[in-house]
Structure 1
């Protein structure tokens, strides 16, 4: 770190203002995460109101994640150079505009465009929130603040389900866009009161690195997002992921050669930074895969409403929030590698418990399962985020925060793709016997999804009851297999963290 840069990057903030800053930043990041599930919950009403095709619905949901993941790294770098609060405020204004647009331009094309704009705003917001918190606290007091931020980011998607359920119960689908737009405007005013920081000696912006990084992450995430529709073996999926990996390799080569890199890729040679990055990816793969499966399980198997489904999953916060606050002391006591591996092992246990649920399971079994999962994420999420941020100089807080955010988005997309593909294949294999006597069109619909099977069963007369029961049983078997697949993935993450945790520390540039 260059002499004098610490004064520009870490700011002296009174304790009362620190608490306010954490509250505002956590509200902003919670809104960004919630906007994923808010639109998911509103999709049936939105499609009915706009006539959006299935392909258009997919883009309305996915383009937000795609733009956010692709642009978060350049946005974090801009914040480091130009000022993090300024980028945050600009991001909130862009986010508000993107959320408000569907109220006035309610056609599928404009909905996709508006969601892309909202994703751009989200990419500007996410790294700024974490880097502002990090720069506002001395090192010995950051653990609790980062724990709160990580906990809010972890349950933000769940909050989106509840908010969407409340809004849709009383208002039209437009409300799920107008409500977040109004909150964004409020956050603009609140954000003007938080401290700002930036690199005291900013380097030139690495435009080639920004383009290569955005293209690499965008291509990989695009390929993963298409898995649910096309399958892992489709040419577009494989080509996108392979192309993204090639672009990532070019990005690494460029960053190693340039004098002012967007991201010092040598940081991934540091044990703590690499362990944190792997841990965040694995956590969000597990969390979003779980939410994807359980949202369908609660609504289609157990008959819950969208609002009740969101409320039913809140026990995850019972363990996640307190353990997020305990994460930093645990790392100081036992070390990052031990806490990461132990926490991810608890996540595996949660996956196994969720996979054991069936159509007749009681709510206490579900509550215990998500509580166990929340405990694992609560222990590991703040530890991983701190490991990423603590191993960079203050001048690179924005970029480090963006790495944390990009790994979250990649993990979320991967979790949904992994669970969706495994669940779909297992469901189709299991339900085939029960649908064999149905007419071809009805059989195709019933074998395509549980929702399709229940729709067919409602019009199939006396035979419909047996089809519905078989379809629900097939879904829960498929969910069990998909949770085991997630458990295997997380176990691989544990092994990776155990190996990476033995590596030596490297000194980053800057």
Structure 2
């Protein structure tokens, strides 16, 4: 692979398509193949691994970049994919007896709706919330979302049975999953802080994320046990998201000038994410009919991807817009001082790099000769002061969204993993749920 951005984007798109096909299947295998008395622990293990998987991906990337070129990242993950492909031949296959025709209309409508909303959130901070294009994409995406619901309710073989969201436990679990990945991926911009402000290497930055790995891994196993054993889904989901909100808000309120402060905040956020992760997935799968376990898995995965995409887009656009609005004086002063040294054209290129991003400013500063040490410090200081306030503002916005979500989950979520109420107010006994689903969500009996 070359360094062409188009090639990189195309290959990452292909990888995303593959991941979208794999993730729902993995959860379906557990819920369908694990004995009912072990299903809750199976979902807990799956949730813990899925929750820390992305974090470990950053860790592995940091290790590879410490010793090899960036190509090694893609080669390593491709090799892992080939090994996984080989392992798939060790499991049985299954097929829906009556799958029905593929819902092309619903699929296209859902993709356009999500794309419109995410594009609007991504570009709004730089273009302005009243920009015609932003309004068109946000409103258009919302309208397409409504159209998707209408289309799915009228189709005999829908892409998604939207009536499942009438079940409060299913809906709460889906929202909680989205909020967990909203929190996880939003704080990964802290890698820029670790490498470009603290001066950490990729390997050291990867190790700096260990508090998130530990917190999510341990508390993912604990959260499901608490929710199932004590019928406390409402408190585990609402409380878990509230704890993660506290960790993210702390990053926006307090100055993160030393790593130990950041480690504590990351650990707090990780504890909250870990507590909520397994109960959320259990609530989704336990309230999905056994014949539609693939749909439940897909909803779980889609919620993860939506939460991550919205978080990355929202935090990234807020930080980019904030940096651009603050870096101007530093770039202008650097241009004036660099012009006598390297000429107007070189000075203009350096100023453009400074204005583009914190990484660009650090690169310009690193290329200056030793006799320009004062200018190097000036550029670094100005870029850091242009980067840190927007990063904290982004954390405040993300934390505010998480806190609002926690309040809603605390009010809306049922106490039991199996919601005792139907969409139309029917008692639980009239739901078409397999007894194994109930057993998977209920506590073990002596």
Kindly indicate whether the alpha-carbon contact (under 8 Å) linking 1:274 and 1:500 is maintained by their aligned counterparts in 2: no
How far off is 1:508 after superposition?
7.5
Q: Would the alpha carbon gap of residues 265 and 310 (structure 1) be closer, same or farther in structure 2, given more than 3 Å must change?
A: same
* Residue 240 of structure 2 is aligned to residue 240 of structure 1: no
1:312 corresponds to: 208
Q: Would the alpha carbon gap of residues 221 and 352 (structure 1) be closer, same or farther in structure 2, given more than 3 Å must change?
A: closer
SS in 2 for 1:360: coil
How far off is 1:453 after superposition?
2.8
SS in 2 for 1:438: helix
2:389 corresponds to: 477
Structure 2-normalised TM-score?
0.82
Tell me, in whole angstroms, the C-alpha distance in 1 between the residues paired with 2:255 and 2:382. 12
Aligned length: 405
Instruction: Write the deviation string for residues 21-55 of structure 1: whole angstroms up to 9, x where unpaired.
Output: xxxxxxxxxxxxxxxxxxxxxxxxx8xx52x3xxx
Matches within 5 A, 1:96-111: 108=6, 110-111=7-8
Tell me, in whole angstroms, the C-alpha distance in 1 between the residues paired with 2:316 and 2:100. 43
Tell me, in whole angstroms, the C-alpha distance in 2 between the residues paired with 1:182 and 1:457. 37
* Residue 320 of structure 2 is aligned to residue 403 of structure 1: no
> In terms of Rg, which structure is larger?
2
1:100 corresponds to: none
Tell me, in whole angstroms, the C-alpha distance in 2 between the residues paired with 1:360 and 1:253. 50
Q: Would you identify which runs of 4 or more consecutive aligned residues in structure 1 move more than 6 Å?
A: none
> RMSD of aligned C-alpha atoms?
2.8
Q: Would the alpha carbon gap of residues 231 and 114 (structure 1) be closer, same or farther in structure 2, given more than 3 Å must change?
A: farther
Tell me, in whole angstroms, the C-alpha distance in 2 between the residues paired with 1:381 and 1:215. 28
Of 1, 6, 9, which aligns to 1:112?
9
2:354 corresponds to: 446
Of 226, 235, 238, which aligns to 1:338?
235
Kindly indicate whether the alpha-carbon contact (under 8 Å) linking 1:351 and 1:483 is maintained by their aligned counterparts in 2: yes
Question: Which deviates more, 191-200 or 254-263?
Answer: 191-200
Q: Would the alpha carbon gap of residues 259 and 490 (structure 1) be closer, same or farther in structure 2, given more than 3 Å must change?
A: same
Tell me, in whole angstroms, the C-alpha distance in 2 between the residues paired with 1:357 and 1:227. 26
Structure 1: which 5+ runs fail to align?
1-45, 57-107
Tell me, in whole angstroms, the C-alpha distance in 2 between the residues paired with 1:231 and 1:317. 36
Q: Which has the higher contact order (CA 8 A, sep 6+)?
A: 2
How far off is 1:391 after superposition?
0.8
Structure 1-normalised TM-score?
0.72
1:257 corresponds to: 154
Matches within 5 A, 1:110-509: 110-224=7-121, 235-291=132-188, 293-332=189-228, 333-356=230-253, 358=255, 360-361=257-258, 363-431=259-327, 434=330, 437-439=333-335, 441=348, 445-458=353-366, 459=368, 461-501=373-413, 504-506=421-423, 507=431
SS in 1 for 2:159: coil
How far off is 1:238 after superposition?
4.1
Kindly indicate whether the alpha-carbon contact (under 8 Å) linking 2:239 and 2:410 is maintained by their aligned counterparts in 1: no
Kindly indicate whether the alpha-carbon contact (under 8 Å) linking 2:353 and 2:364 is maintained by their aligned counterparts in 1: yes
How far off is 1:196 after superposition?
4.1
How far off is 1:454 after superposition?
2.5
Instruction: Write the deviation string for residues 439-462 of structure 1: whole angstroms up to 9, x where unpaired.
Output: 374555434422233334443652
